[in-house]
Structure 1
């Protein structure tokens, strides 16, 4: 059985729930998730501050 990272699990859950657009603000601790988003087919909407996300 292949080991999945937390980021891969989140991406899989988003796909399973029919989500194709995500809003966010990249930063240090979330970069592994953004790496997975980069190689996936999700549309990312960049926000300027956390409250807008």
Structure 2
């Protein structure tokens, strides 16, 4: 199951640069993960400074 970004996201962009498959993009209010592209590697969750990313 793909990772998801919660409303705790502060839009710092740390996760976007760590995603090896470019599944993370800036959304309207925060960053979002494309569930169809996400490979569940967890790199984004490890890079998030506010722990806003978790397995969905």
* TM-score for the superposition, normalised by structure 2: 0.24
Query: Higher helix proportion, which one?
Result: 1
Rg larger in 1 or in 2?
A: 1
Query: Higher strand proportion, which one?
Result: 2
* TM-score for the superposition, normalised by structure 1: 0.25
